[in-house]
């Protein structure tokens, strides 16, 4: 079933690229995209030079800019050449014409409603289950979503983000376990450059409940935010969901706003937290260092104290 479905999604991309030149060109461009690798203690960060991602990295997402543009996820504004596939009652599958993954989809709601996890976690679990073989991800409205006014997820093929393989060895650390009950386990990692809470569950209901508790606690820590600041990855494989939640305190690092040689145009979102930094400018790709990566993660990830509060919440759920 999973393979049939993923074939169906891959075929949708192939068909789309037969009829939409912009998309076809950008997927072809991905074959020659430059990448380099930084080795840290037990894990890696890939850096991808991807100029087509400039529109996303540099997207103006303040209220006035959003109000002044036509929403590119609403059906009436989408390019005529862009096809859609019904995915799950309220969600559509679209080919993302500015890809990072070899197979990269945007999954918008059919309604123009704000980007929020609240009320949409069940949908995320269902979509993920339907898309076995793909990594589903969510960027919060102040955590990298370039359409914070229109609910959407994205998906790319599994096997691309380093976190997928690295989490197996991270999870061997029994001290990292926060919660273990029935088919649901949660871990917290604060020695992975970024703060990460991982959840593995065979139960959608338990997974949703656990995430709701974490998000509600983070909401108490960040009452001024439209929603708790997170990036979230979700895959479904062998009857289980695997989730990685990255709690944050900042949208863009200081380097983003610097000028001249100090500037690094990097606006971290789920893919970056998954271990692939996207640099839309050549100069940033060339000059970025391991120290920059560590510093950027440190600036945008939740503080130690607040992360401890989240860990305590999950530990005390029993």
Look at the block and give the residue holding tokens 């409603």. 113
- Which C-beta is closer to Zn ion: that of 71 or that of 177? 71
Closest to Zn ion by CB, 74 vs 88, is 74
Q: Please give the structure tokens belonging to residue 14.
A: 């192939």
With a CB cutoff of 8 Å and minimum separation 6, the contacts of 269 are 139, 143, 144, 145, 231
Q: How far is the CB of 83 from Zn ion (least distance, A)?
A: 17
Of 45-53, 149-157, 240-248, 279-287, the window that binds Zn ion (rule: CB under 5 A) is 149-157
Nearest approach, Cβ of residue 114 and Zn ion (Å): 10
Range in contact with Zn ion (rule: CB under 5 A) among 70-78, 114-122, 180-188, 201-209: 70-78
Q: Is residue 36 close enough to count as binding Zn ion by CB under 5 A?
A: no
Helix ranges (H only) for the chain are: 2-19, 21-30, 54-57, 63-68, 121-130, 162-170, 204-221, 254-257, 270-273, 282-287, 290-300, 304-315
The answer to the question of residue 294 lying near Zn ion (CB under 5 A) is no
Size of the site for Zn ion (CB under 5 A): 5
**177 interacts with Zn ion by CB under 5 A:** no
Residue 150 interacts with Zn ion (CB under 5 A)?
A: yes
- Rounded to a whole number of angstroms, the minimum distance from the CB of residue 98 to Zn ion is 17
Least Å from the CB of residue 146 to Zn ion:
12
Q: According to CB under 5 A, which one of 2, 59, 66, 74 is a site residue for Zn ion?
A: 74
Residue 215 host element (H or E)? helix 204-221
CA angle, residues 94, 45, 271, in degrees to nearest 5? 20
**CA gap 264, 258 in Å, rounded:** 7
Strand pairing class (104-108; 91-95): antiparallel
> Under the criterion CB under 5 A, does residue 152 sit at the interface with Zn ion?
no
Nearer Cβ to Zn ion, position 57 or 109? 109
Contacts of 126 (CB under 8 A, 6+ apart): 88, 204
Question: How many whole angstroms separate alpha carbon 103 and alpha carbon 125?
Answer: 20
Q: Find the part of the chain contacting Zn ion (CB under 5 A) among 56-64, 68-76, 134-142, 235-243.
A: 68-76
Does the footprint of Zn ion cover residue 110 (CB under 5 A)?
no
Choose the stretch contacting Zn ion; rule: CB under 5 A; options: 55-63, 73-81, 157-165, 204-212: 73-81
By C-alpha distance, which of 113, 105, 122, 104 is closest to 147? 113
Q: Does 248 bind Zn ion (CB under 5 A)?
A: no
Q: State the Cα angle at 14 between 113 and 106, rounded to 5°.
A: 15
Residue 201: closest CA among 247, 154, 245: 245
Residue from 59, 66, 71, 306 touching Zn ion (CB under 5 A): that is 71
Query: Residue 93 is inside which H or E element, if any?
Result: strand 91-95
Cβ within 8 Å of residue 141, ≥6 positions away: 61, 114, 115, 116, 148, 226, 227
CB of 73 or CB of 145, closer to Zn ion: 73
Which of 112, 171, 213, 309 is the binder for Zn ion (CB under 5 A)? 112
Q: Is 116 in the site for Zn ion (CB under 5 A)?
A: no
Regarding 78 and contact with Zn ion (CB under 5 A), the answer is no
Complex with Zn ion: residue 80 or 259, whichever CB lies closer: 80
**In the complex, minimum distance from the CB of residue 99 to Zn ion, in angstroms, rounded to a whole number:** 21
> d(Cα 104, Cα 156) in Å, to the nearest integer?
5
Q: CB under 5 A: which stretch of 63-71, 170-178, 232-240, 263-271 binds Zn ion?
A: 63-71
List residues near Zn ion by CB under 5 A.
71, 73-74, 112, 150
């Amino acid at each position: 079933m999973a393979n049939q479905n993923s074939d169906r999604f891959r075929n949708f991309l192939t068909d789309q690229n037969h009829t939409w030149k912009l998309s076809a060109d950008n997927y072809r461009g991905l074959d020659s995209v430059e990448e380099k690798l930084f080795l840290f203690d037990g894990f890696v960060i890939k850096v991808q030079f991807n100029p087509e991602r400039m529109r996303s990295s540099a997207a103006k997402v303040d209220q006035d800019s959003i109000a002044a543009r036509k929403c590119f996820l609403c059906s009436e504004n989408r390019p005529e050449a862009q096809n859609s596939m019904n995915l799950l009652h309220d969600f559509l599958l679209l080919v993302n014409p500015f890809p990072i993954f070899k197979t990269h989809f945007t999954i918008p709601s059919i309604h123009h409603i704000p980007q929020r996890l609240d009320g949409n976690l069940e949908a995320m679990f269902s979509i993920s289950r339907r898309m076995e073989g793909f990594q589903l991800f969510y960027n919060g409205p102040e955590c990298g979503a370039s359409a914070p006014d229109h609910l959407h997820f994205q998906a790319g093929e599994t096997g691309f983000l380093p976190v997928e393989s690295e989490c197996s060895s991270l999870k061997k650390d029994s001290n990292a376990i926060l919660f273990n009950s029935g088919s649901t386990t949660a871990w917290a990692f604060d020695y992975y450059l970024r703060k990460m809470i991982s959840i593995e569950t065979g139960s959608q209901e338990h997974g949703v409940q656990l995430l709701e508790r974490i998000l509600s606690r983070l909401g108490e820590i960040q009452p001024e935010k439209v929603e708790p600041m997170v990036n979230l990855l979700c895959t479904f494989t062998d009857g289980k969901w695997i989730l990685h939640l990255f709690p944050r305190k900042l949208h863009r690092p200081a380097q983003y706003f610097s000028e001249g040689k100090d500037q690094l145009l990097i606006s971290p979102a789920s893919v970056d937290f998954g271990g692939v930094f996207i640099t839309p400018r050549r100069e940033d790709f060339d000059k970025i260092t391991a120290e920059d990566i560590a510093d950027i993660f440190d600036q945008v990830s939740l503080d130690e104290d607040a992360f401890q509060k989240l860990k305590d919440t999950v530990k005390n759920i029993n």
